[in-house]
């Protein structure tokens, strides 16, 4: 058993013959599955009774097999809970998200409004005090006092609201008390000074937030999707927005178009690239009656699809919310900053009371209220995260919340998808071998290109790209004939050229014995073999594979230098291809032929034993895994919208070096936040001592405190200049 309290960790609290009590954090978040899990455990032949307490996170088991050990029962419990791991994780995440202190939502304030408030406060500060000296309660009703209270209203409202709703003070409660106390003591100057300096610090934070939102909006310009809808009589088609499509409508999809609904093929046959769904880059043939998914690409053919799932029900829905609620996405260190500073606020009131009782001096007591830790800590932490998100966005990296920056800084495990993530998703020729005395590589390749010239199949693209790279000319040929799912053929002069699979060659009685050893070697390297025949003779074989991205190996080396202990490959692709890539990239392990839900469960298994997991993918098949990792990263310009929506971080370019780049940014962000903690706590504590001894009047206490706040906010702004590519 591990010492740390991970989600599936189990600890034996008490054990006697036939009875055991086990504690696990996962038991607190069973939700609606509590009774189901109880029944499942009761079906075990040696268990007599089970009692689960979600409040304490414990389970009491009575059993009659006395040869069992505590470890046996823990393994049984963990295996049972593992089935419900996804829902347990969801319930925990939902509960944790509701624990934060009520603070003013600075992201809803505009820099222009704050500048106006600062200007008004400065003007009031410069204006002379009323000439008529009022006494008692009437003194509070002069124009300067009323204007000061008016400017402070948002702070006063939020400070009182926190006391009522949260049953505890927040930063605005302390500021409100200091402002009101200053006004009662007749020192509007002190109150205005407090407001001006606090507003200036807030302005820096709000400006950074607004700038960040602008960069993100520029990044996420998404166009409208249109489809061809078949008329009721079936004779015509009309181009309409995807939003107008309803369940049961018929959609026409032609070569080169994306399928925009989940549905069934009513008519036609096509070769469809489903790499966004399955992760396997080889297209599949689909016929009438078979199911197709939104987000897949029709490479060849024409089909009519009956829509079964549309709009938000589609597998590949559009991006609906990229930067979620700040409270839900608040980093632990930011929550800690809020909670820590909020817990120190009562200390200010206590010190003020002690100073007043011991000195009977309201000015000295007021100094204790003017200086607080929360303002500097809270604003500088929010600014640091906002500045980092801004810097990332300027480099083509979208980070959806500050919590993901902190998670990136703590990560120790990185999991990669294969197709389109480690590899380019674009097949290329790796091996050429010719047979026959006079047959050369270029001639065999040109004959293969003659057959494939009009094909849009990815393997055809690999051959045609190689022809362009070599500067070869495709010989004149007759019209090509596609043999669906097997190959393609054409005539060059009087010779018939066939290009295709092993099965296609065998159907045409072409002997492949001469190529058997070479083909085995190609297959061992994870290459797909294309056979090329002229008339009845095999003239060559072509090995095609999906090559790794440029710089992907360098990116993995940098990840290891940043403290990543485990680099894993999870893919829906075939075992041989997964093994080849994992070996070439020196990855720690791999799993192949996985469905999307299998990837998600594997991610949660890593997390349940305490690993801090980053998942990197690009397709719909990666979406569940991206959601359940500590941080999900969608990589590349070819990523799908659903992957981008599920991911916590989106890298819009195809440069894998931005992965260690954004982790470096995250680590630097947390480092600066810790610096700000030390400065804010150290200097403000010193100021409190000076204020308590009377060496620092209230107005100078305010200036010192707010200057420190501006200093730590300024320190956070350094992140705007951080070089992600270094």
Is 348 among the domain residues? yes
Residues 565 and 697: their CA atoms lie apart, in Å, by: 54
Is 417 among the domain residues? no
Domain co-membership, 119 together with 169: yes
Determine the pLDDT at residue 510. 94
Domain co-membership, 88 together with 136: no
Asked if 724 contacts 394 with a C-beta cutoff of 8 angstroms, the reply is no
Query: CATH code at 300?
Result: 2.70.150.10
The counts of H helices and E strands in the chain are 23, 24
Clarify whether 233 is annotated catalytic. Answer: no
Domain co-membership, 446 together with 368: no
Range of the domain at 143: 110-225+316-411+630-725
Instruction: Label the pairing between strands 495-500 and 19-23.
Output: unpaired
Q: Diameter of the chain by CA atoms? A: 115
Query: CATH code at 86?
Result: 3.30.1360.40
Is 676 among the domain residues? yes
Is 588 among the domain residues? no
Domain co-membership, 295 together with 341: no
Q: Which residue has the tokens 């998404």?
A: 222
Determine the pLDDT at residue 329. 46
What's the domain count of the chain?
4
- Split the chain (726 residues) into runs of 10 and give each run's mean pLDDT: 61 91 91 91 91 92 86 89 80 63 59 84 78 57 77 80 70 71 72 76 74 58 62 81 83 84 88 64 80 80 85 42 39 60 68 79 69 72 85 85 85 88 84 90 94 83 91 92 85 93 92 91 86 94 87 93 92 81 90 81 83 82 76 72 67 88 94 89 78 71 77 90 87
Residues 140 and 149: their CA atoms lie apart, in Å, by: 10
CB-side exposure of 427: number of CA atoms within 13 Å? 27
Domain co-membership, 141 together with 281: no
Is 511 among the domain residues? yes
Query: CATH code at 440?
Result: 3.40.1110.10
Determine the pLDDT at residue 471. 92
Determine the pLDDT at residue 50. 94
Domain boundary among 516, 545, 574: 545
Asked if 534 contacts 443 with a C-beta cutoff of 8 angstroms, the reply is no
Domain boundary among 545, 562, 584: 545
Angle at 689 (CA atoms; ends 687, 692), nearest 5 degrees: 110
Is 565 among the domain residues? no
Domain co-membership, 326 together with 305: no
Domain co-membership, 143 together with 188: yes
pTM above 0.85, yes or no: no
Asked if 302 contacts 253 with a C-beta cutoff of 8 angstroms, the reply is yes
Domain co-membership, 66 together with 189: no
Annotated catalytic residue, options 262, 338, 372, 417: 417
Residues 465 and 26: their CA atoms lie apart, in Å, by: 53
Domain co-membership, 120 together with 215: yes
Is 578 among the domain residues? no
Hey, is 586 helix, strand or coil?
A: coil
Asked if 631 contacts 603 with a C-beta cutoff of 8 angstroms, the reply is no
Residues 362 and 177: their CA atoms lie apart, in Å, by: 13
Shortest CA distance to 698 belongs to which of 387, 473, 243, 362?
Answer: 362
Domain co-membership, 62 together with 152: no
Is 556 among the domain residues? no
Domain co-membership, 26 together with 73: yes
Determine the pLDDT at residue 125. 79
Domain co-membership, 213 together with 330: yes
Domain boundary among 309, 338, 353: 309
Q: Judging by beta carbons within 10 Å of its beta carbon (0-12, 13-18, 19+), is residue 122 exposed, middle or buried? A: middle
Q: Which residue has the tokens 């990229």?
A: 322
């Amino acid at each position: 058993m591990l010492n740390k309290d991970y989600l599936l960790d189990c600890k034996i609290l008490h054990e006697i013959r036939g009875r055991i009590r086990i504690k696990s954090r996962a038991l607190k978040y069973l939700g609606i599955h509590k009774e189901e899990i109880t029944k499942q455990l009761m079906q075990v032949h040696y268990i007599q009774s089970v009692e689960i307490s979600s409040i304490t996170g414990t389970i009491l088991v009575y059993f009659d097999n006395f040869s069992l050990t505590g470890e046996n029962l823990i393994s049984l419990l963990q295996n049972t809970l593992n089935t419900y791991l996804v829902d347990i994780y969801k319930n925990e995440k939902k509960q944790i998200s509701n624990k934060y202190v009520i603070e003013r939502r600075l992201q809803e304030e505009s820099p222009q409004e704050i500048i106006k408030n600062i200007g008004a406060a400065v003007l009031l500060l410069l204006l002379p005090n009323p000439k008529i000296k009022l006494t008692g309660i009437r003194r509070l009703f002069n124009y300067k006092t009323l204007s000061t209270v008016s400017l402070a209203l948002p702070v006063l409202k939020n400070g009182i609201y926190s006391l009522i709703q949260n049953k505890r003070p927040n930063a605005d409660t302390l500021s409100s008390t200091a402002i009101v106390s200053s006004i009662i003591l007749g020192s509007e100057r002190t109150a205005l000074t407090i407001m001006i300096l606090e507003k200036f610090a807030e302005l820096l934070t709000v400006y950074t937030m607004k700038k960040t939102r602008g960069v993100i909006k520029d990044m996420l310009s998404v166009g409208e999707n249109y489809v061809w809808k078949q008329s009721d009589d079936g004779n015509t088609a009309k181009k309409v927005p995807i939003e107008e499509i309803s369940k049961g409508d018929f959609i026409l999809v032609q070569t080169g178009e994306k399928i925009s609904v989940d549905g069934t093929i009513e008519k036609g046959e096509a070769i469809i690239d489903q790499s966004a769904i399955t992760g396997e880059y080889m297209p599949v043939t689909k016929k009438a009656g078979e199911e197709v998914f939104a987000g897949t690409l029709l490479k060849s053919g024409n089909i009519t699809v009956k829509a079964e799932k549309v709009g938000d029900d589609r597998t590949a829905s559009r991006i609906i919310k990229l930067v979620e609620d700040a409270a839900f996405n608040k980093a632990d260190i930011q929550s800690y900053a809020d909670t820590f500073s909020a817990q120190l606020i009562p200390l200010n009131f206590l010190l003020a009371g002690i100073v007043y009782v011991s000195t009977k001096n309201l000015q000295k007591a007021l100094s204790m209220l003017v200086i607080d830790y929360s303002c500097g800590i809270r604003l500088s932490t929010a600014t640091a995260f906002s500045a980092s998100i801004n810097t990332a966005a300027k480099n083509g990296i979208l980070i959806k919340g500050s919590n993901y920056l902190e998670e990136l800084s703590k990560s120790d495990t990185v999991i990669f998808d294969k197709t389109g993530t480690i590899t380019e998703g674009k097949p290329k020729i790796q091996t050429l071998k010719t047979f026959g005395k006079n047959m050369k590589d270029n001639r065999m390749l040109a004959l293969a290109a003659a057959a494939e010239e009009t094909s849009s199949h990815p393997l055809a693209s690999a051959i045609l790209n190689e022809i362009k790279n070599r500067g070869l000319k495709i010989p004149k040929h007759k019209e090509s004939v596609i043999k669906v799912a097997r190959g393609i053929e054409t005539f060059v002069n009087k010779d018939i050229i066939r290009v295709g699979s092993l099965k296609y060659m065998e159907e045409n009685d072409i002997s492949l014995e001469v190529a058997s050893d070479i083909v085995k070697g190609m297959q061992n390297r994870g290459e797909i073999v294309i056979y090329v025949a002229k008339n009845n003779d095999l003239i060559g074989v072509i090995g095609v594979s999906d090559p790794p991205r440029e710089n992907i190996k360098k990116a993995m080396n940098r990840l290891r230098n940043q403290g990543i202990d485990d680099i894993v490959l999870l893919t829906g692709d075939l075992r041989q291809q997964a093994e080849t890539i994992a070996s070439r990239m020196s990855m720690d392990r791999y799993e192949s032929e996985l469905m999307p839900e299998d990837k998600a469960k594997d991610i949660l298994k890593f997390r349940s034993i305490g690993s801090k997991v980053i998942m990197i993918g690009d397709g719909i098949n990666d979406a569940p895994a991206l959601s359940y990792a500590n941080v999900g990263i969608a990589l590349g310009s070819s990523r799908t919208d659903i992957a981008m929506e599920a991911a916590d971080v989106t890298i819009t370019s195809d440069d894998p070096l931005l992965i260690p780049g954004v982790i470096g940014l995250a680590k630097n962000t947390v480092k600066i936040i810790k610096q700000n903690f030390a400065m804010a706590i150290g200097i403000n504590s010193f100021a409190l001592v000076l204020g308590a001894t009377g060496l620092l009047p209230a107005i100078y206490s305010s200036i010192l405190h707010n200057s420190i706040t501006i200093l730590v906010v300024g320190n956070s702004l350094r992140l705007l200049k951080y070089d992600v590519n270094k």
